[in-house]
Structure 1
Amino acid sequence: MTARLAPALLVLLSSALPLHAADPITTEGRVAAVTVYQGQALVTRDVELGDAGGLTEIVVTGLPEKVQPGSLYAEPGDGVVVRSVRYRTRPVEQDVRAEVRELDEQLQAVRDKLNANARRRALLGERTEYLKKMEGFTTGTANAELKSGVLNAETLKSLTEFVFTERTEIAEQELASQVEERELNQELELLQRKRNVLTQGSAKTVREAVVFADLGEEAAKALRLTYIVSDATWSPSYNLRADADQSRVLVEYNASIQQMSGEDWTDVDMTLSTATPSLVATAPRLDPLAIRLAAPTQQQIEARRDIAKAKSELLAQQRKLANFRNLYAADSPVFTEGLNAEAADELFSRQAAQTPASSMPNAPAISGEFRGGRAAGGFGGMYASAANGAIADAGLNRISNEMQLLDYNGDLSRGRRAERGPSDSQGISVSYTLPSATSLPSRSDRQLIQIAALPLEGQFYRIATPVLTEFVYKEAMLINSTDMVLLAGPAATFLGGEFVGRGTVPTVAAGESLHVGLGIDTSLRVSRELVKKESRTQGGNRLVTFDYQLALENFSGQEVDVRLMDRLPKPESNEIKVTLVDPGKPLSEDQEYLKNQRKDGLLRWDLQVPAGATGLNQSTVDYTIQLEYDKQLQIVGMPAK
């Protein structure tokens, strides 16, 4: 019977034995894809695991200095089950980066040369001391022989010449040694500065992601490791190249990228995005707003005096907190931008203190570990995000409560309306995937990458604003006929291959128009003159009539289209009545002008100025306006808005 039970017992015992993981796999993987946001980047590494199987610890080493530990995430390939992910650092004797190691080798070589130089100078000093002793011996011997009458003049001469020759050689070598020492010290200082800029402190630390996974049966397998790095950003810029015949404009849409993450991106699939990377999938919770009556506090009285300023400050807080909510850690650079560590921690602590524990039934206690978002990566960061999200929701509700109370108690007439302009997180979000693999080394200077080259058709014209300047400028109104959103950014403009100046491109959605400046047209000149002014009194009011003449001269040999601009004064109230008595020539019927500019008192005439229209043949517009106001008062300007 014992023999029959033996096999079953062996099976039971073997199943109870502990499982031993396979030998760890250490690899750097390969950076395969990068999404660059405006402030940080999401990096994806492909990690090949070979034919390993069973429970295995995979160490992905060589992570960059600016990695955000809480963002580590391992995406398993086929046949791989990820059990855990954690982040660790370990010190090493030598810097892990090749470029830093090369600098360290150069630094050591310079130090070795300095040591050799110092030894040579020490030997020169010993030679000098020896010569001094020889001089003393020679002088004493010569004196003794001179007294005894047996002086050997030839020997004395040879010794003297030897001493002076040696001294001359020693002096020359000391001078060369001093020059070499100075140059070596300068080289050492330069190399040290380069290293400090490159490393920005100690870099003798290896950063690693440790993934514990079940690889199953032995077969080729892989996984992907993703993480967020800071010190990476991009901004749009443009080159606008107009054809010499002014038939079209080639819009070169570029990205100016700066990445100092500490790792090089070589032949990666790159995406540029204006979104904010988010590790939170749920919308913030909206709480009810309970109100009651009470005497206003001094703070509320101050806020009501300038409701626009108070709202703007609250909007800024709201955006910062909304950004924080979407991230895995309170010390993320997006949340703490503009704050030092103490201020960021204080703001987070204040949110935590104002958040009731009942609102976070499934979240752990808010300890220092979670408050700073410093829980270990992967699964450890999950709980910190839950706690941070609940605290942020309470903070967003508190800020929204204050904004609504400003609506109820504030007086909009006391200040201008607070505008909700676009921001990194709440403005337009677009992504551009670059068509080919891209390489970006980690360095401090900005690198230019072309996103697209877009040939756009448009209408070319000149614009003259004599109330501002006598120069006439070339412009083109282009239509964004692509499906790509063009974000606001600086532009360099070229006409017929020649650089004509710099400007800006606003955000332009697909199908929208874009006005592009093409520089000064030196063949045109414009002037503005007050020809006549008449004033009379009617009842208690003063009526003043102004006759203006706008004149355009064309020194070129071809007819040109010109948009001539001027303006009527815009009264702040009905105390002043402004009338366009005679426009001189019909105003423009362009729908965009009528919709956006005419209502603000801006005047526009669309003219065709003949070739050679100069002197008495210049093109003119004579128009008349009238102002009516209290005769006891005078007109003053209002502050610009």
Structure 2
Amino acid sequence: MKEVETRVARAVVLLDGARVTRTGKVTLPAGTHELVIRGVTGLAQVDTFRVGGRGPAVLLSIDVKSETKMYEPEDEVRRLRDQLEQLELQVKELEDRRDIENIALSQLEMTSTEYTTTLAPLLAEGQTDVDAASTFLSKIDAMRAEIQDTLRDIDVKIEDLKREIDALRENLDSVGGTVRTEDVYSIFVRVEMKKQGNLELDLTYHVSDARWTPSYDVDITSGKARVKRLAHIVNYTREDWNDVSIVVSTATSRPAKIERPEPWYIDEDRGGYLEKAPSGFIRRTLGGVTTYEVPATVTVPAGETSSPILLMEEEMEAKTLHYWYADEMAEVVAHEEVTNGDTTMIEGSVRVFREGEYVGETTMPVVAPHETFKLGARTAYDVKAEKKLRQRVVEKAGLTRGKKRRSYEYELKIENFSEQDIEIEILDRIPHSQDAEIEVRLDREGLDLEEENVGVLKWRRTVPAGEKEIITYRFEVVWD
């Protein structure tokens, strides 16, 4: 069996996964051969492995097996572990020596005890004398003292070594000094070579631990928006992507789901408990998938996110709009209305510039081709707006009915101090009654409202450069 060395050469990165291609090359004679590709990430989806290639060969079979790979510590960690093993070995040797010395001391104590027990009879029988007994006991005492000194010395050395071991272990912990194991796949490939030659193998598989997130740089100029579409590649596949060809796709690996309607029954309320409605969200699905082939190779180490990668740069139509909500806003806000081009813009963060100057950052939802979107909200210091109460009157509506009436007259003034005409959306609100006994009457004559909804009034006006626009409206509230 011959092992084929491969590397990650290409990745098609989706919004929620990636299709990875490993390539390798081997020279083989004619005949049937068993090949193996080792070290493929254990995060690959096992049912997605495919093998292709180029060369004078026929693919006979493939088999996928899971294995456990042990990663040796790095050089510094290995050095520390070697030191730790040496110190632990020294402690073990000293502990063995201490055991031997303790055995010797025990035997010496037994000898001393036996001799002392038999000393009186021996002296009585004349088999020994006091001087000989004293000399013997003195030798035992000397041997005992020597062994005890040795034991004390061993204990001191063991304590010193244990302190060194504790320090080494702390050092190892700080540099991650544990041996790491990881599940990987080995791919066994059986091929038949028609003749001797080179065989290039392509192994592809899907991983869900890689993705890309979009972001945008938008520079607003007069009537135009220069949009850079950027991609941030996230690689959590446990495989380093070094000098890899990248294709970025707006597709996802999740299948589309068709919902079927169910009958909606209503019945008399019988006082039972209602089941909690399932939480839901609104999803916007747009047809078409866009792919971007990155012109240069990209390096994304395992566990990291790439620097922003430029996918494309385009120019879009843009116009400046102004907005003022008179009841809450003291200042007018300006923002840009940009018309998207021919490709969908995926939800992402947006950095906004105006004439190259940074304005701020915001987020953008999904934008369909040719759909408009707004961004770059900022205070319009060259446009002033003011709301003024011109009149308020409280009076009886009728002596016989006894109703009261309160009337109001407001003036909205917008002044354009810029050198260009502006288009502005103006909103204000009046009371909206939900009580039959309270009536709100708006004088609509000459208002030229674009919209009115539950008391919210909306105008759209164009104010020429250096000019002003004044809107006056009246309403009254009648109640008992």
Same fold (TM over 0.5): yes
Counterparts in 2 of 1:141-160, with a 5 A limit? none
CA distance in 1, matches of 2:258, 2:335: 46
Counterparts in 2 of 1:23-62, with a 5 A limit? 24-62=1-39
CA distance in 2, matches of 1:191, 1:298: 67
- The equivalent residue for 1:224 is 202
Cα distance per residue 1:158-193 (max 9 Å; x no partner): xxxxxxxxxxxxxxxx9xxx99x97x7775444218
Question: What SS does the corresponding residue of 1:475 show, helix, strand or coil?
Answer: strand
Note closer, same or farther for the CA distance 1:462–1:80 as it changes in structure 2 (3 Å cut): same
Give the total of aligned pairs: 405
Among 202, 209, 214, the alignment partner of 2:181 is 202
Among 228, 231, 253, the alignment partner of 2:229 is 253
Note closer, same or farther for the CA distance 1:572–1:240 as it changes in structure 2 (3 Å cut): farther
Deviates more, 1:227-236 or 1:27-36: 27-36
Deviates more, 1:31-40 or 1:107-116: 107-116
Question: What SS does the corresponding residue of 1:430 show, helix, strand or coil?
Answer: coil
Please report how far the alpha carbon of residue 35 of structure 1 lies from its aligned counterpart in structure 2 after TM superposition.
Answer: 1.9
1:276 partnered with 2:291: no
Cα distance per residue 1:306-351 (max 9 Å; x no partner): 6xx24x46xxxxxxxxxxxxxxxxxxxxxxxxxxxxxxxxxxxxxx
CA distance in 2, matches of 1:51, 1:619: 84
CA distance in 1, matches of 2:56, 2:272: 61
TM-score, normalised via structure 2 length: 0.68
Please report how far the alpha carbon of residue 441 of structure 1 lies from its aligned counterpart in structure 2 after TM superposition.
Answer: 2.0
When you count strand as a share of all residues, which structure comes out higher?
2
Amino acid at match of 1:85: I
Amino acid at match of 1:70: D
Amino acid at match of 1:470: A
1:302 partnered with 2:274: yes
- The equivalent residue for 1:622 is 472
Among 421, 425, 439, the alignment partner of 2:299 is 439
C-alpha RMSD over aligned residues = 4.6
| Contact 2:218–2:228 under 8 Å retained in 1 | yes
- The equivalent residue for 2:131 is none
CA distance in 1, matches of 2:26, 2:269: 65
CA distance in 2, matches of 1:438, 1:297: 63
Note closer, same or farther for the CA distance 1:219–1:570 as it changes in structure 2 (3 Å cut): farther
Question: What SS does the corresponding residue of 2:345 show, helix, strand or coil?
Answer: coil
Cα distance per residue 1:461-506 (max 9 Å; x no partner): 33223333223222121222x3211112221212233222222223
When you count helix as a share of all residues, which structure comes out higher?
1
Note closer, same or farther for the CA distance 1:39–1:506 as it changes in structure 2 (3 Å cut): closer
Please report how far the alpha carbon of residue 58 of structure 1 lies from its aligned counterpart in structure 2 after TM superposition.
Answer: 2.3
| Contact 1:57–1:211 under 8 Å retained in 2 | yes
1:581 partnered with 2:443: yes
| Contact 2:43–2:207 under 8 Å retained in 1 | yes
CA distance in 2, matches of 1:540, 1:86: 93
Counterparts in 2 of 1:231-630, with a 5 A limit? 231-243=209-221, 246-277=222-253, 302-303=274-275, 309-310=277-278, 312=279, 420-422=282-284, 430-436=289-295, 437-445=297-305, 447-480=307-340, 482-534=341-393, 537=397, 545-553=407-415, 558-568=419-429, 580-582=442-444, 586-587=448-449, 601-608=456-463, 610-611=465-466, 619-626=469-476
Among 167, 175, 178, the alignment partner of 1:191 is 175
Cα distance per residue 1:500-523 (max 9 Å; x no partner): 222222322222222222522334
- The equivalent residue for 1:85 is 62
Please report how far the alpha carbon of residue 260 of structure 1 lies from its aligned counterpart in structure 2 after TM superposition.
Answer: 0.8
Note closer, same or farther for the CA distance 1:112–1:567 as it changes in structure 2 (3 Å cut): same
Amino acid at match of 1:271: V
Larger Rg: 2
Which runs of 5 or more structure 1 residues have no equivalent in the other structure?
1-23, 96-100, 120-173, 314-418, 589-593, 633-641
Cα distance per residue 1:92-123 (max 9 Å; x no partner): 5x52xxxxx6x62121234567789999xxxx
- The equivalent residue for 1:327 is none
- The equivalent residue for 2:152 is none
CA distance in 2, matches of 1:268, 1:583: 68
CA distance in 1, matches of 2:310, 2:364: 16
| Contact 1:495–1:518 under 8 Å retained in 2 | no
Question: What SS does the corresponding residue of 2:47 show, helix, strand or coil?
Answer: strand
Among 99, 106, 110, the alignment partner of 2:76 is 106
Cα distance per residue 1:72-110 (max 9 Å; x no partner): 122354654433322223345x52xxxxx6x62121234
